[in-house]
Every structure is written in C-alpha cells, then in structure tokens.
Amino acid sequence: MTSVPSSRVSPAEAALSGAVAGLIATILVSVLARSTPGIRTQAFYKRRENHREIADEQSEHPATVTPAGALAQAHGPGPEGAAGLFAMKVASGLFGRDIARSSRLWGKVVHLAYGSFWGIVYGILQGPRRRQPVLAGPLHGLFVWGLGPGWLVPAMKLMHPPTEAPPAQTWLNLVGHVLYGVTVAELFDAQSKRRN
C-alpha cells in the first residue's frame, strides 16, 4: 500500500480524529440504511415471517428478559438490532439487568460506540505516514465486516452468518461496511490535511 508523508501526529490526536471520523461514518451509513427500502425490516431476519412473529410477541407481552432468555435470543431488528441484542445479552448475562424496554436506545449507543472504536483503530494504524484513503478505506471496511458481521457477530448469535442470510442482505451489509471504511478514511485524511 502506498503512503504519503505526514507531519507527526500523536497517537492521542490520531485516535481522536479516528473516533470523530468513525462516529460520523456510522451515522451516515445508519441514515442510508434507514432510507434504503427493505433494509430496516429485513436487516437481521432470514424471512419476513420471523420479523412479524417476533414483533407480535414483543407487542403483546411486557418486556421481561431473564439472563438465560437474553443469551438464547438470536435476532435483533433494524440496522442497530444486533447492537441492541448485544447490549441486552451483556446487561442480562453479566449484570442480571433487564434492558429490553430500552434495547433500541442501547442498540444505537452500542452501534455508535462500535463505529467510533473502529475509527480509532483506523486512526492509530495510520501511524507516522498517511496511507492512501482510496485503498486504506475500503480495506478497513472489509476488515471490519469480516471480523464483525462475517464472523464474530454470527458466532455470538446476534445475526445470521453471511452464508445463511439472503444474498442481497449480505451484499448490502458488505457495501455498507466498505462505505463506512471509505468515509472514515476520507474524513480522517481531511482532518490530517487541515493540521498540516
């Protein structure tokens, strides 16, 4: 990967710039996901019937989640559904708390924190030389997708593995992560150029 000279940036400055870039990129991709027809309702379900069954169950019964119930739950709705389910599992499994009623809010918080974290990683990995955002961005997005939705998120039973999800959903998820990586790289690069 080619790189271009850069003035020295402290690790703290790189992390802060990366966090800001990651947060903005996450918000952008989330807004685009919500405005793309069909993604919000199908995001983490194999079939629409599963979505309706779960939505009906949740609307008829008060939200009460036991630690065992949260850990066994395997689906979460919408772009931040996996993040909300992750928050429910952590709260219930580690702390014995039921946050089902506020899982959407917690999902957004976890989703934004996750995107910011990967922005920090991108910023720190830039080091003393800036890599070309045209290459580094998509590669970063692919790495985040491969580690997260490609492997770890399905292993935690937060969403279906790419091999079991509808192909269109997998491609949209992959494209969204590449777009996230490109946006992080461009925003980070723009902040670096302003400092020079």
> Percent of the chain, pLDDT > 90?
43
Q: What is the mean pLDDT of the chain?
A: 80
C-alpha closest to that of 40 among 182, 184, 172: 172
Q: What number is the average pLDDT over the span 2-6?
A: 49
Q: Is this model's pTM higher than 0.85 or not?
A: no
Cα(27)–Cα(10) distance, integer angstroms: 26
The number of folded domains in the chain is 1
96-125 pLDDT, tens digit per residue, is 898 988 988 999 999 999 999 999 999 999
Q: What is the pLDDT of residue 110?
A: 95
How many angstroms separate the Cα of 187 from the Cα of each of 2, 43, 74, 119, 164?
18, 27, 35, 10, 34
Q: What number is the average pLDDT over the span 81-87?
A: 86
Q: What is the pLDDT of residue 159?
A: 87
Q: What is the pLDDT of residue 43?
A: 44
Q: What is the pLDDT of residue 49?
A: 44
Cα(150)–Cα(147) distance, integer angstroms: 6
Q: What number is the average pLDDT over the span 127-148?
A: 89
Cα(73)–Cα(110) distance, integer angstroms: 18
12-56 pLDDT, tens digit per residue, is 999 999 999 999 999 999 998 888 765 544 444 434 344 444 444
Task: Show the domain range for 125.
Answer: 3-195
With beta carbons less than 8 A apart as the criterion, state whether 155 and 25 touch: no
How many angstroms separate the Cα of 171 from the Cα of each of 75, 109, 150?
19, 25, 11
Q: What number is the average pLDDT over the span 149-156?
A: 93
Q: What number is the average pLDDT over the span 150-178?
A: 92
